Amino acid sequence: MKVVIVGAGAIGLLIGSYLSERNHEITYITRSTVQAEKLRLQGITLIQPNGEKVNTQVQAFTDFRLAPTEALWIVAVKFHQLTNLEKELQSLSLSTTLVFVQNGLAHLKWINRLKHQDIYIATIEHGAVKQDATTVLHKGVGLTKIAPHIMTSKAPIDISIFQTSFFQSEMVEDAYTIVLRKVVLNACINPITAILQIKNGELITNSHAFHLMKSIFEEILLSFPEISQTLTFEDVKELCVKTSQNYSSMLQDRLNHRKSEIESIVGVLLQMAATKERDLPLLRTLYYLVLALDEKGESFE
């Protein structure tokens, strides 16, 4: 099967490497011509959780027009990068199946602009670190959840495409539910790690950070009690343990002088709480602290 992946960050490289194990033909769309050239020449090097290195060959371009149109398209970019891709995505055939990998709720509203017949949402709870333009380190094994957002064809996506030894996936019914779960996980972990500049595991071992994370979760639960059906604080702790040696994506953004996803993760959550006439004072404080770091920050990509 031909698969096009838009975005060659840590998660994009991780997905492509594992999908290539299933003998799928992988093509990347990257922002950088340098990265595209390196991917074509060197392929992807995946360092698996067991330490084994696996190299796979891929195609890569910066021009959408060079990618195969008769393919599954996976969009693995941050929310603030989506606007720049709208024209290219709209140019794809309406029969093209799109899968959006996302961290925040803001994607859902944006995706409604598209007219494609089959659009899926995916959330990924793996730990991955991009070591260089072509190398990704898989540091925490989690679960990929996929749900239909818009589906007009009779045949659902074949979930077996996303199944390998270290990359397990499941199909669920409700996109909003899995995205809200992912957002709450990120809201509990990412801002604290970005502010304190600590690894995920230190949210467990540092008693004060742990108390803050637990308080954030309990505060969110008061405004969104429905989250208790799919997420417990034990799940939050488990993710911290599984990815204990990881730097969260928000901390990686800070360390690499990139704009964070605080708006699409925490900002949207605060807006949703406001519509319920609820406030999240602890989370709001973290929100402004990360915004201050963004403003202070350096040049954004």
CA distances from 50 to 137, 140, 165 (A): 11, 11, 11
Q: Is 87 a catalytic residue?
A: no
Contact 218, 257 (CB under 8 A): no
Length of the chain: 301
3-state secondary structure of 247: coil
The residue annotated as part of the active site, out of 38, 78, 130, 182, is 182
Neighbours of 88 (CB within 10 A): 14
3-state secondary structure of 248: coil
- Which among 179, 47, 192, 172 has a CA at the least distance from the CA of 124? 179
Take residue 113 and report the two structure tokens written for it: 């602009």
What is the phi/psi pair of residue 26, to 5°? -105, 130
Take residue 170 and report the two structure tokens written for it: 């499941």
Contact 284, 270 (CB under 8 A): yes
Neighbours of 21 (CB within 10 A): 15
CA angle 48, 52, 54 (to 5 degrees): 80
The residues assigned a catalytic role are 182
